[in-house]
Amino acid sequence: VVTPYYNRPSQEGLYAHYAAINAAVQLPVLVYNVPARTSVDISDATLARLSRLPNIVGVKDATGDLVRATQQRITCGSDWVMLSGDDPTALGYMAHGGHGSISVSANVAPVQVSAFHEAALSGDWETARRWQDGLLRLHRALFSDASPAPTKYALSRLGLCEETARLPITPASEASRREVDAALAEVGVA
């Protein structure tokens, strides 16, 4: 569940929002913290409070701040699920104790991203770094234009879906398409 956007709620407002969700459902809830898109960042202290609620089980962290995984590992407890929401920093996030990622690139190169995760989660950092190095261009290419336009373009090139997206997202620019094409070839999926 993404943090509320537009109103820029206080930390107490964010806590109350997720506490209300916790009380309303009997499902595990991941807090999705993506301040670049919502203009609000849920603090580690608020996440620590939320970690004590029974249905709030973890976070999808798209802040790119790797130290947050360490802080949350310390303050939220061993059952707190920490998933990176940022492919380029997922390696560092897992090195800090994260449990994996919710990956955009995995939609395009699932075998390669899975191999990366397996290596990182088993502590084989040398192999994980090699996979990360090989995937970095794809990670960046998929955000070379307004998301998800480059990803939709990549998936359409692979015959997996149409390129169309709902407005206000328009098709990927020609420059973005060229970068996606090069990244697909580099990662070996085109």
Rg of the chain, C-alpha, whole Å: 18
Take residue 180 and report the two structure tokens written for it.
């996606």
Residue entry with tokens 């849920």? 42
Q: Residue 133: how many CB atoms within 10 A of its CB? A: 11
Catalytic annotation, pick one of 18, 32, 93, 153: 32
Q: Is 32 among the catalytic positions?
A: yes
- Which two tokens mark 56? 């709030």
Catalytic residue (one of 18, 60, 93, 153): 60
Strand order in the sheet with 29-33: 29-33, 56-61, 81-84, 100-101
Start-to-end CA distance of the chain, whole Å, equals 33
Residues 6+ apart with CB under 8 A from 116: 90, 91, 128, 131, 132, 135
Q: Indicate if 60 belongs to the active site.
A: yes
User: Quick one: which of 69, 85, 74, 91 has its CA closest to 33?
Assistant: 85
Tokens of 32: 């999705």
Could you give the residue numbers annotated as active site? Answer: 32, 60
